[in-house]
Homo-oligomer: A and B are copies of this chain.
Amino acid sequence: MALIVQKYGGSSVADAESIKRVAKRIVDTRRAGHDVVVAVSAMGDTTDELLDLAHQVAPISAPRELDMLLSSGERISMALLAMAIHSMGFEARSFTGSQAGMITDATHGAARIVDVTPIRLREALDEGAIVIVAGFQGFNRDTRDITTLGRGGSDTTAVALAAALQADVCQIYSDVDGIFTADPRVVPKARKLDVVSSEEMLELAANGAKVLYIRAVEYARRHGVIINARSTFSSGQGTFVLAPGMTVPAAIAAIAEESAMEEPIVAGVATDLSQAKITVIGVPDVPGKAAEIFTVVAKSGANVDMIVQNVSAAATARTDISFTLPKSDAATALRALAAEQPGIGFESLVHDDQIGKLSVVGAGMRTHSGVSATLFEALSTAGVNIEMISTSEIRISVVVRGDDLAGAARIVHTAYGLDGDTDAVVHAGTGR
């Protein structure tokens, strides 16, 4: 008998029928002899509808009250889920973030978990109940106020519960079958991975893969939680995300263990069309100018990703600096830089939102040479121009034209021998 934490997102509990389907899956897990703790998100579009109401009553929302408002969404879904399980003859109890002992700091809207004291959850489990916990929300001890964890908060709730309860596995359910070697909508021959390392997963998530949130993966790695990303709409084993040295317990997935032995050099190809590029032209080539520029950009609230500085043109003693950032941050960053133009002394700004980023991720890069050569050769053969390059220990990213991104991803996927025998099935388009 294992202790299994399951997380269901908003699309998995969008209406009464979906809730009953999820309840059945939970009951099936219980019937198999396992203890079950479930973290659940708000139903479907509830959060957006509440945000819309908030905007209607006040142009700017008081952060404490916004958290109070948004946290009501999970109360609805968790109570309904517990009722549905009840009506199938199983005992289920729902708990708010504060009842579950999800203690956070006081940062409304993006609180960080500081402690998890699941006393009531343990009591309920000991009494044989299925435990349902509101995802996304917590409680600050000092202010005694309700907080929310921000984007992907329910994933983090599930992983934090799994860590605190020493669960055998944390299953994250969504509408895709697991982690793929590439986005199946971009690369039809993408293969589902049976196992991926948490480091690879972090790089994939940071570079465009959307199945898991970075925060949850980080938390799982730090606390030794096995994540299993799988689909609500199929019975596949999904993908196991393992920290170094961890193995999937045989009881949970014999199949996954096998494939973990293979250890491919490249785990996957991530694609990202959400970034823009800003080029600062004619920056005086004197020490400290790059620092000035990125201080201004950071203060504007933008998250800079890749940076490239051109070789200085000796004749003018000026250089160009390019960087990428989320498209949504670009306007603010441009305004901030323009305001500081006289002080920094650059000549002009160029904004380009037609770029695409392609990343190759694999823990095998540490010990295998030639990985980057394969990438550059494949892109060159295909006539795709590389505009920027950045690397980490287990990742190579390149910026290309946005229009070239999908084709480049397919070519690179093939070049690394990642192609599956058949096209991947895409659930994401079903609207569930």
Contacts and interface: CB of A to CB of B under 8 A. Distances in A.
Interface of A: 16, 19-20, 23, 50, 53-54, 56-62, 64-66, 68-69, 71-73, 75-76, 78-84, 86-87, 92-94, 96, 99, 120, 144
A286 to B, nearest CB: 47
Contacts of A75: 68-69, 71-72, 75
A83 B65 contact: yes
Contacts of A83: 54, 57-58, 61-62, 65-66, 69
A425 to B, nearest CB: 29
Contacts of A96: 68
A94 B65 contact: yes
Given A53-B80, A57-B84, A62-B92, 16 more contacts: A54-B80, A60-B87, A61-B83, A62-B86, A65-B80, A65-B82, A65-B93, A65-B94, A66-B79, A66-B83, A68-B78, A68-B94, A68-B96, A69-B75, A69-B76, A69-B80
Number of copies: 2
B68 A79 contact: yes
Contacts of A53: 16, 76, 80
Contacts of A76: 50, 53, 69, 72
Nearest to A13: B57
B144 A57 contact: no
Contacts of A69: 75-76, 79-80, 83
15 contacts: A20-B57, A54-B83, A57-B83, A57-B84, A60-B87, A62-B92, A65-B83, A66-B83, A68-B75, A68-B78, A68-B79, A68-B96, A69-B75, A72-B72, A72-B75
Contact of A19 (B57, B62, B87, B99): B57
A375 to B, nearest CB: 50
A82 B56 contact: no
Contacts of A71: 75
B59 A87 contact: yes
Contacts of A120: 144
Contacts of A19: 57
Contacts of A57: 16, 19-20, 23, 80-81, 83-84, 87
Contacts of A50: 76
Given A58-B86, A75-B71, A93 B80 contact: no
Contacts of A144: 99, 120
A296 B99 CA distance: 42
Contacts of A72: 72-73, 75-76, 79
A340 to B, nearest CB: 32
Contacts of A62: 82-83, 86, 92
Report the 8 A-B pairs with minimum CB-CB distance, sorted nearest first.
A16-B56, A69-B79, A58-B87, A72-B75, A68-B79, A58-B83, A57-B84, A72-B72
A84 to B, nearest CB: 4
A307 B84 CA distance: 43
A66 to B, nearest CB: 7
A40 to B, nearest CB: 12
Contacts of A82: 62, 65, 68
A289 B61 CA distance: 65
